[in-house]
């Protein structure tokens, strides 16, 4: 929004004002003296008839040309004061949070229990597909945060480093596939990889959001040791156990087509709870998509930094709009003074 007019160098009036006033007084004094001292070139017995003569348009134009100098002087004077117009802007500054999403892609993520609203098992999305949709909404809500992605199964690796480009992050998220890191579950190695990514972070809050549906059975680093390292570095762990309690449906390919098989997938809730508590985080259990979405929404609310609003004025220089017309008027005066409007000495 355009603000009121502002003069950046208004202090110059302290110098220009007296100088201009002195100059104007000298000009007036000179005119007064010249009129009084100059003798008449031609003497008339009477000016009675001359006074009734119509003034020539050329005389009015000469006066107008003389006025151009004053207008040019006025424009240049105002330009020297540097007029500016301002726009009031609001800057939102936030220190943000660095978040690493740790996603389980082990074989057990093929279970179809989170997509319980769909009755047909063939049409159901598996745990990983449901998690990807929910996590994408979580990413969209964290506009000011750097977010990274670590994938784990038997192995753990960084799928996407910390970035503010959430479009790239979601592209990597969409490409996640079951078994891409092996079929086992290396929770400790995954958390260790995520913590390493956050080690050099300067964010006020560093968070790991771990999603898994099993218990750690692979990797060289135990989950609790990884949690201790995270606590030492000030990294908070939010752990999510995804899956129903009891048996979960899987689709198995047979000669007669896909056939449902029910298996019991145990989640090591005790270890996940201990990991979260040691780092100041929390453990959640999600048995369907709605619960999973609610958990990520809770984490989104828990991990918020205070945003400070700073208002300031951004000014645009307006003096060129005065200098350019002044120069054009000066050129116009010079041109006109070389025509019939020239004043002879």
- pLDDT on residue 73: 80
- Band of pLDDT at residue 8, cut at 50, 70 and 90: confident
- Band of pLDDT at residue 1, cut at 50, 70 and 90: very low
- Band of pLDDT at residue 54, cut at 50, 70 and 90: low
Which of 40-44, 45-49, 330-334 has the largest mean confidence? 330-334
Compute the CA torsion angle 38, 42, 46, 50 (nearest 10 deg): -90
Kindly report the pTM of this predicted structure: 0.63
pLDDT digits (tens, 9 = 90+) for 240-292: 999 998 888 888 888 877 888 888 888 999 999 999 999 999 999 999 999 99
Task: Compute the distance between CA of residue 238 and CA of residue 231 in angstroms, rounded to an integer.
Answer: 12
Q: Pairing relation of β-strands 247-254 and 257-264? A: antiparallel
- pLDDT on residue 40: 56
In this prediction, residues 7-36 reach a mean pLDDT of 76
Give the distance, in angstroms, between the CA of residue 10 and the centroid of all CA atoms in the same chain.
35
- Angle ∠(240,244,245) on CA atoms, nearest 5: 105
Tokens standing for residue 184: 């086992």
Q: Cβ(166)–Cβ(144) under 8 Å?
A: no
- Band of pLDDT at residue 157, cut at 50, 70 and 90: very high
- Band of pLDDT at residue 159, cut at 50, 70 and 90: very high
Q: Residue 227 CB: number of other CB atoms within 10 A?
A: 29
Quick one: what percent of the chain has pLDDT higher than 70?
82
Task: Compute the distance between CA of residue 150 and CA of residue 142 in angstroms, rounded to an integer.
Answer: 17
- pLDDT on residue 317: 82
Extract long-range pairs of 140-145: CB within 8 Å, 24+ residues apart: 140/166, 141/300, 142/97, 142/99, 142/166, 142/300, 144/94, 144/96, 144/307, 145/96, 145/97, 145/98, 145/99
Residue scoring higher pLDDT (74 or 156): 156
pLDDT digits (tens, 9 = 90+) for 22-39: 877 887 887 777 666 555
Q: Map 101-151 to HEC letters.
A: EEEECCHHHHCCCCCCCCCCHHHCCCHHHHHHHHHHHHHHHCCCCEEEEEE
Give the distance, in angstroms, between the CA of residue 189 and the centroid of all CA atoms in the same chain.
34
The H or E element spanning position 97 is strand 97-104
What domains sit in the chain, N to C, each tagged with a CATH number?
2-33+52-88+316-336 (no CATH), 95-306 (3.40.50.410)
- pLDDT on residue 286: 93
pLDDT digits (tens, 9 = 90+) for 98-134: 999 999 999 999 999 898 777 788 888 999 999 999 9
Task: Compute the distance between CA of residue 229 and CA of residue 304 in angstroms, rounded to an integer.
Answer: 23
Tokens standing for residue 282: 């929390």
The CA–CA distances, whole Å, from 142 to 148, 193, 254, 297 equal: 12, 22, 43, 11
Q: Residue 289 CB: number of other CB atoms within 10 A?
A: 21
Burial of 128 (0-12, 13-18, 19+ CB in 10 A): buried
Task: Compute the distance between CA of residue 71 and CA of residue 323 in angstroms, rounded to an integer.
Answer: 11
pLDDT digits (tens, 9 = 90+) for 288-320: 999 999 999 999 888 766 555 455 566 778 878
Q: Please check the confidence at residue 6 and state whether its pLDDT lies above 60.
A: yes
């Amino acid at each position: 929004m355009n603000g009121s007019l502002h003069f950046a160098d208004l202090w110059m009036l302290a110098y220009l004002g007296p100088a201009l006033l002195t100059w104007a007084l000298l000009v007036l004094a000179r005119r007064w003296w010249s009129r009084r001292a100059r003798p008449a070139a031609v003497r008339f017995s009477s000016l009675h008839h001359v006074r009734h003569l119509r003034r020539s348009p050329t005389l009015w134009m000469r006066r107008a040309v003389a006025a151009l100098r004053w207008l040019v002087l006025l424009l240049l004077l105002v330009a020297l004061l540097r007029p500016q117009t301002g726009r009031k802007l609001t800057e939102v500054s936030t220190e943000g949070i660095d978040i690493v999403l740790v996603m389980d892609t082990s074989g057990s993520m093929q279970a179809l229990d989170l997509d319980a609203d769909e009755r047909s098992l063939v049409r159901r999305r598996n745990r990983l597909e449901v998690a990807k949709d929910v996590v994408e909404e979580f990413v969209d809500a964290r506009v000011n945060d750097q977010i990274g992605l670590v994938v784990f199964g038997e192995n753990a690796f960084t799928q996407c480093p910390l970035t503010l480009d959430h479009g790239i992050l979601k592209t990597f998220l969409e490409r996640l596939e079951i078994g891409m890191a092996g079929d086992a579950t290396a929770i400790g190695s995954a958390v260790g990889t995520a913590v390493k990514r956050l080690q050099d972070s300067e964010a006020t809050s560093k968070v790991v959001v771990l999603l898994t549906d099993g218990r750690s059975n692979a990797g060289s680093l135990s989950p609790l040791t990884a949690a201790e390292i995270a606590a030492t570095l000030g990294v908070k762990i939010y752990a999510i156990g995804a899956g129903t309690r009891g048996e979960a449906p899987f689709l198995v390919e047979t000669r007669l087509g896909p056939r449902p098989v029910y298996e019991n997938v145990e989640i090591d809730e005790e270890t996940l709870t201990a990991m979260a508590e040691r780092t100041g985080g929390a453990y959640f259990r999600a048995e369907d998509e709605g619960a999973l979405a609610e958990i990520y929404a809770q984490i989104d609310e828990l991990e918020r930094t205070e945003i400070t609003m700073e208002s300031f004025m951004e000014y645009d220089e307006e003096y060129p709009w005065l200098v350019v017309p002044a120069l054009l008027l000066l050129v116009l005066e010079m041109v006109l003074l070389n025509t019939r409007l020239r004043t002879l000495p």
